[in-house]
C-alpha cells in the first residue's frame, strides 16, 4: 500500500471532501508500516474497501417553522463499516454538515468503536439543520420529519444512532417518539442517549467527558504526572465540555477556560457546581454564545473573538468541533507552557497542530481514543436494552473506567516509539485498524 497513490485516487473520486480526505490520510500514514507487513491485507484490498462507506442515505427533510413557513433541509445517514457489529454512531445537526463532514466522522467512528472492545460497526448521520435560535416546537417538528425518512434504514440490530453536536437528550426523545410511531416497534434499543426513564443509561450524558478525563489520567500517570492542581482550558460549553469540566474539577484541576463561537471565558478560579449547572442552561438556551457565563459569574471575564487556546494552561482539551485547534494555536499553547493536549472533539486538531505537539514531544492523544467513552457507554446502553435491565451509575462508571484503561493500553502497545515517547495517534489508529481489518479478512469479499 502506498499512501500517496491511494490518496491521489480518493482525491480524484471525492474532490473537495477535505475533512474526509484529512481523516483518511491520518489513518493511512499511521498504519502504512504495519499494513505492509501483512500481504494478506494487500491481497484482500482491505484499505481500498475500508475507506469507502458501505452505503450513504441522503434525503430531503421538509418541515414547517413557527411562522408557518416551509423549510427544507438535507438529511444523511452514512453506514460506514459493519465488520465488527451493527452500525453505530451519532447524528449531528449543524449548518455546516455535508457529506465530507459525515464521511470523516463515520470513518473515525469505525476505528473508535473498534477500540471500545464492544461489537459496534461505524456510522454517522445528520443534517444541515441549524438548531441555533429554534424554538422547542421547531426542534420537535424537525426531528420528527428527519425520522420520518430515516426510520426504515435503522433498527436495534442494524443501525443505532445517538447524539452528536446539536443533538442531545431532547432531540433523541423526539426522534425516538417518531420512530416508535412509524415502526410500531417498542424495543428501546434503536437509539442511544435516551432519557433515563425510557431505556437510557445512567452516566451516558457524562460519559464522553468523564471517559476523556479517565484517559487523560492514564496518560498522565504513565508520564509520572498528575491532574491534581493542573490548569485546564476547554473549548465549547456543550454536553461534552460540561462532562469534561465536571470530571476535571472533581479530580482537582482548575478549569480556567470555556469558549463558544463568540469568544472565550477566562475563569481563573475554576468551576463550582453552580457554574457547571449553568453550562447546561446555556446550551439549552439554543443561542450558541458563551458570553452570558461571565455576566452571571463576575470572577470570570469574557474575551470576544478569542479561542480557549489563548489562555495559559497545563492541559488543553478541545471539546467542540473538528479542526478547532490549528498550528498557530498549538504554538501559542506550547509557548505558554502547555504539556498535555487531548482531543475530546472528533479530529479537534489540524494535522499541523498534531505535528507541532508531537515534535515538542508533549503528551497528545487523538479523539478516537480520548472520546471513545461516549460511544462505549452507548454500547453499554444497548446491552442494558437487550437484557431489559438497568445498571447502577457505579456499575456503568466502573465499566467505563475499564474500557478507557484498555484503550489507553492498546495505544501504548501499538504507539510506543523506540525512544519511549508514546505516539497515541499511531497507537490508536493501528489498534483500531487491526481489529476491523482482521474481521473484514475473516468475512471474505463482501
In the complex with ligand 2IT, the residue whose CB is nearer, 238 or 270, is 238
CB 107 within 8 A of CB 23: yes
Q: Does residue 378 belong to the site contacting ligand 2IT (CB under 6 A)?
A: yes
Rounded to 5 degrees, φ, ψ at 253 are -90, 160
- 386, 189 contact by CB (below 8 A): yes
Query: In the bound complex, which residue of the shown chain has the CB atom lying closest to ligand 2IT?
Result: 90
Number of residues that bind ligand 2IT (CB under 6 A): 12
Three-state SS at 89: strand
Q: Rule CB under 6 A: which of 186-205 touch ligand 2IT? A: 192
| Three-state secondary structure of 201-235 | CCCHHHHHHHHHHHHHHHHHHHCCCCCCCCEEEEC
Among 138, 164, 217, 343, binds ligand 2IT (CB under 6 A): 164
Instruction: Check residue 343 for interaction with ligand 2IT (CB under 6 A).
Output: no
Contact 321, 294 (CB under 8 A): no
399 counts as catalytic = no
Locate 400 and state its grid cell: 467505563
User: SS3 of 132, please?
Assistant: coil
List the catalytic residue out of 88, 103, 112, 124: 124
103 binds ligand 2IT (CB under 6 A): no
Q: Which of 191-198's residues contact partners 24+ apart within 8 Å by CB, and which partners?
A: 191/160, 191/161, 191/162, 192/160, 192/161, 192/162, 192/378, 192/381, 192/382, 193/162, 193/163, 193/167, 193/168, 193/169, 193/378, 193/381, 194/169, 194/381, 195/169, 198/173
Considering only 375, 400, 422, 440, the residue that binds ligand 2IT (CB under 6 A) is 375
Identify which range of 29-37, 86-94, 222-230, 241-249 contacts ligand 2IT by CB under 6 A. 86-94
Residue closer to ligand 2IT, measured from CB, 122 or 427: 122
Contact call for residue 88 and ligand 2IT (CB under 6 A): yes
Q: List the one residue from 100, 127, 231, 346 that touches ligand 2IT (CB under 6 A).
A: 346
Query: What is the smallest separation between the CB atom of 118 and ligand 2IT, expressed in angstroms?
Result: 11
Q: Distance between CA atoms of 312 and 162, rounded to whole angstroms? A: 34
- Tell me: does residue 399 bind ligand 2IT (CB under 6 A): no
Q: Does position 89 bind ligand 2IT by CB under 6 A?
A: yes
Site string for ligand 2IT, 297-336 (x = CB under 6 A): ----------------------------------------
| φ, ψ for residue 319, nearest 5 deg | -130, 20
Catalytic residues: 124
Task: Kindly list the residues in this chain that would bind ligand 2IT in the complex (CB under 6 A).
Answer: 88-90, 109, 112, 162, 164, 192, 346, 374-375, 378
Amino acid at each position: 500500500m502506498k499512501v500517496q497513490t491511494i490518496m491521489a485516487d480518493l482525491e480524484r473520486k471525492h474532490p473537495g471532501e477535505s475533512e474526509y480526505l484529512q481523516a483518511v490520510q491520518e489513518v493511512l500514514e499511521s498504519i502504512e508500516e504495519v499494513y505492509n507487513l501483512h500481504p494478506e491485507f494487500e491481497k484482500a484490498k482491505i484499505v481500498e474497501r475500508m475507506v469507502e462507506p458501505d452505503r450513504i442515505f441522503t434525503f430531503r427533510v421538509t418541515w414547517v417553522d413557527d411562522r408557518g413557513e416551509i423549510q427544507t433541509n438535507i438529511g444523511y445517514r452514512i453506514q460506514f463499516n459493519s465488520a465488527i457489529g451493527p452500525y453505530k454512531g451519532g447524528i449531528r445537526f449543524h449548518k455546516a454538515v455535508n457529506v465530507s463532514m459525515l464521511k470523516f466522522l463515520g470513518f473515525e467512528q469505525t476505528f473508535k468503536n473498534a477500540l471500545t472492545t464492544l461489537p459496534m460497526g461505524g456510522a454517522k448521520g445528520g443534517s444541515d439543520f441549524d438548531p441555533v435560535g429554534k424554538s422547542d416546537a421547531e426542534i420537535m417538528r424537525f426531528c420528527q420529519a428527519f425520522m420520518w425518512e430515516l426510520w426504515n434504514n435503522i433498527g436495534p440490530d442494524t443501525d443505532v444512532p445517538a447524539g452528536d453536536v446539536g443533538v442531545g437528550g431532547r432531540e433523541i426523545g423526539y426522534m425516538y417518539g417518531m420512530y416508535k410511531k412509524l415502526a410500531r416497534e417498542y424495543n428501546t434499543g434503536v437509539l442511544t442517549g435516551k432519557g433515563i426513564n425510557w431505556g437510557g443509561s445512567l452516566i451516558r450524558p457524562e460519559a464522553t467527558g468523564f471517559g476523556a478525563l479517565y484517559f487523560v489520567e492514564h496518560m498522565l500517570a504513565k508520564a509520572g504526572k498528575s491532574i491534581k492542581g493542573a490548569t485546564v482550558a476547554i473549548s465549547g460549553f456543550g454536553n461534552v465540555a460540561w462532562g469534561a469540566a465536571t470530571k476535571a474539577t472533581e479530580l482537582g484541576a482548575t478549569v480556567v477556560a470555556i469558549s463558544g463561537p463568540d469568544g472565550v471565558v477566562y475563569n481563573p478560579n475554576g468551576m463550582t457546581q453552580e457554574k457547571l449547572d449553568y453550562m447546561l442552561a446555556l446550551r439549552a438556551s439554543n443561542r450558541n454564545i458563551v458570553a452570558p457565563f461571565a455576566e452571571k459569574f463576575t470572577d470570570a471575564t469574557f474575551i470576544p473573538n478569542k479561542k480557549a487556546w489563548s489562555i495559559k494552561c497545563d492541559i488543553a482539551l478541545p471539546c467542540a468541533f473538528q479542526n478547532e485547534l490549528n498550528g498557530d494555536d498549538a504554538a501559542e499553547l506550547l509557548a505558554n507552557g502547555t504539556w498535555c493536549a487531548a482531543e475530546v472533539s472528533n479530529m479537534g486538531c489540524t494535522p499541523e497542530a498534531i505535528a507541532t505537539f508531537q515534535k515538542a514531544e508533549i503528551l497528545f492523544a487523538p479523539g478516537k481514543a480520548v472520546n471513545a467513552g461516549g460511544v462505549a457507554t452507548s454500547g453499554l446502553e444497548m446491552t442494558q436494552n437487550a437484557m431489559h435491565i438497568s445498571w447502577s451509575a457505579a456499575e456503568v462508571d466502573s465499566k467505563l473506567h475499564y474500557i478507557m484503561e484498555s484503550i489507553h493500553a492498546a495505544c501504548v502497545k501499538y504507539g510506543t516509539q523506540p525512544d519511549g515517547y508514546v505516539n497515541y495517534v499511531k497507537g490508536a489508529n493501528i489498534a483500531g485498524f487491526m481489529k476491523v481489518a482482521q474481521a473484514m479478512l475473516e468475512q471474505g469479499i463482501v
